[in-house]
Amino acid sequence: MKITKICCIGAGYVGGPTMAVIAQKCPHIQVTVVDLNEERIAAWNDKDVNNIPIYEPGLAEVVADARGRNLFFSTDVDKAIAEAQVIFISVNTPTKTYGKGKGMAADLKFIELCARQIARVSKEDKIVVEKSTLPVRTAEAIKSILDHTGNGVQFQILSNPEFLAEGTAVTDLLNPDRILIGGDASDEGQKAIQSLVEVYGNWVSKDKILTTNVWSSELSKLTANAFLAQRISSINAMSELCEKTGADVNEVAKAIGMDSRIGAKFLKASVGFGGSCFQKDILNLVYIAKSYGLNEVADYWEQVIIMNDYQKRRFSNKIVQTLYNTVSGKKITFLGWAFKKDTNDTRESAAIYVADDLINEQAQIAVFDPKVSQKKVLADLNYLETRSSDKNEDSVTSFEDPYQACKGAHAIAILTEWDAFTEYNWQKIYDSMQKPAFLFDGRNILNAQELRAIGFVYQAIGS
C-alpha cells in the first residue's frame, strides 16, 4: 500500500517532532497530528512558530517548513483517524498510580481509549503503529480491542518504537542510528511493515531499517533504555567511591570510555537521570519480569532505579551537611530545572526531588531555568503531594534572570547542564552571595579551579 495519509494521536514530545520530520521529508504524505488537549494544539498552530509547545533545537524550523503544506495539527481526532491509512499512537503511558501494578506497571488507559476510538471510527483497513513506549505484548491487547469492537475492517498492528532523545530530537530523527519496525509474520503483516519501511525510506537508508516480530521490537525499546540508564547508575555508583578515595569520576569515565568495548557515551556522572522514559521503562521491565516469576531478573534491573534515587538523595544530603547541617530559612538557588539541557521537559527531573528534600529541611528555593516557567516548577512539586500547594508556593520562587536568582543565596546547585551556565560571570555571582559561598555542581560542568580561585566552596559529583 502506498501511504499518502498519516494520522498521529498525541501531539507531545514524541508525536510532535516525529510527525514534523516525517512531513518535512515526505511532502507527498499528508500528516495530521491530533490531540484532545486544545491548548496544546492551539500552540502547535500558533502563527509565531517559536510558540510551539515543545522546545527542541531546530524543531521550529522543521514545523515552519511543513505546517499548512502537508503537516496539520487538529483536535478533530475522529476525522483524522477516518481519513488516514496509517495511525500512529503516541499518547502518554505514565506509571500506574493506583491498583494492581501501582508504581510499577504502565497505565495503558490512554492507549486503550485510542484503540476503541480507532475501532469505532474506521470504515477501511488500517495500519496501527505503536509509537509510545509500551510494555511487551501491548500490541496483542490493541489488536484484541480492534478486532472485537471494530466495523469488520482489517487492522495490522506494528511496533515502531521511538529512540529519539529530547534536546536532540530533530537530529536524532533526521539521522537515526536505526529504525525498528515489528510486525506480524503473516503476508498482511509483512505488507504493512513494507509500507512503513517505504515511509522511512524517504530519508533513512534501508540498511538502517530493521524489521522484527512485534515482541522483539517492543522489548528492544525497553532494553535499550534499561541499558542506557544502567550505565548512568553504574558511573554514579562509582562517583561516591571516587569522593571517598580521592579518584576523579571524570578521569575514570574517560579512561574506561576509551575502551572501544565500553564506549564513551552515557558515562557522565550526575545528580541522577530523569526524563519520562528511563524510570518508567525500567519499572515496566521489572513488573513484566516479576509477573513471569523472574525475581532475580526483576531485582537486577530494579537496582538501577534504587541507585538513581540514592544519587538524588545523596546530593540533597550533601547540601544540608555542608551548610552546617541546616538549610532552614536559607536561600538555595537551583540553576536548571529541566531533566537535561535543551528541553523544556521536566518529567522526573532530579531537580524536583532535590527541591522536595530541601523544602522538607525548610530551605527557600530560588529557581532559574531558561525554558521552564514558575507554573511548571510548582506543578511538578505539587504532583509529589508531599505538602500543600500553598506551602510549595511559599518555599519556591522562580526568576527570569540568573543573577537575581543567585543574589543573596547561601548556596547554588547546578541541576541541569545548560551550556549558558558555563558562560556566566561567576565573580559577579560570588560577590552577590552570602559567604561562605557554596556551589554544588550536580552536572560537573563548571571549572573547579577557576571557581575555587574566586572563593567559592565548590563541590562536584565524584571528586
Of 70, 92, 138, 225, which lies in the binding site for ligand UDX, with binding defined by CB under 6 A?
225
The grid cell for 337 is 530545572
Helices within 122-213 (DSSP H only)? 138-149, 169-174, 187-200
- Judge whether 250 and 323 are in contact, CB under 8 Å: no
List the x/- string, 250-289, binding to ligand UDX by CB under 6 A.
----------------xxx-x--xxx-xx-----------
Q: Taking the complex as a whole, how short is the minimal distance between the CB of residue 371 and ligand ADP, in angstroms?
A: 15
Cell of 125: 483497513
**Closest by Cα among 173, 170, 161, 181 to 204:** 173
Longest distance between any two alpha carbons in the chain, whole Å = 74
With contact defined as beta carbons under 8 Å apart, do 399 and 405 qualify? yes
Q: Which of residues 56-95 bind ligand ADP (CB under 6 A)?
A: 77, 90-92
Q: Closest separation between CB of residue 210 and ligand ADP, Å?
A: 22
Written as nine digits, the cell of 27 is 511532502
Nearest approach, Cβ of 1 to ligand UDX (angstroms)? Answer: 27
- Of 7, 8, 242, 277, the active-site residue reads 277
Say whether 58 counts as a known binding-site residue.
no
**Residue 270 touches which of ligand ADP, ligand UDX, none (CB < 5 to 8 A by kind)?**
ligand UDX
Sheet holding 209-213, edge to edge: 71-74, 30-34, 5-9, 86-89, 126-130, 155-159, 179-183, 209-213
Binding-site partner at residue 344 among ligand ADP, ligand UDX, none, CB < 5 to 8 Å by type: none
Which residue's entry shows cell 578521569?
Answer: 251
Size of the site for ligand UDX (CB under 6 A): 19
Identity of the residue, 136 or 169, whose beta carbon is nearer to ligand ADP in the bound complex: 169
Q: Which does 228 bind (CB under 5 to 8 A by kind): ligand ADP, ligand UDX, none?
A: ligand UDX
- On whether the CB atoms of residues 59 and 169 are closer than 8 A, the answer is yes
Is residue 410 a contact partner of residue 438, using CB atoms and an 8 Å limit? yes
- Consult the annotation and say whether 67 binds a ligand: no
Contacts 24+ apart (CB under 8 A), 339-342: 339/166, 339/273, 339/274, 339/275, 339/416, 340/166, 340/167, 340/274, 340/275, 340/416, 340/417, 341/167, 341/416, 341/417, 341/418, 341/419, 342/55, 342/56, 342/57, 342/166, 342/167, 342/168, 342/418
Residue of the chain from 44, 88, 110, 278 that contacts ligand ADP (CB under 6 A): 110
197: contact with ligand UDX by CB under 6 A: no
Judge whether 277 counts as a catalytic residue: yes
Continuous segment of H or E residues that includes residue 290: helix 278-291
Near ligand ADP by CB under 6 A: residue from 3, 6, 8, 12: 12
Using CB under 6 A, which residues numbered 315 to 374 contact ligand UDX? 339-340
- Can you give the binding site for ligand UDX, defined by CB under 6 A? 162-166, 225, 228, 232, 266-268, 270, 273-275, 277-278, 339-340
Binding-site sequence positions: 10-15, 35, 40, 91-95, 132-133, 162-166, 221-225, 261, 268-274, 277-280, 339-340, 347, 443
- Can you give the binding site for ligand ADP, defined by CB under 6 A? 9-15, 34-37, 40, 77, 90-92, 110, 113-114, 132, 276
Catalytic residues: 277
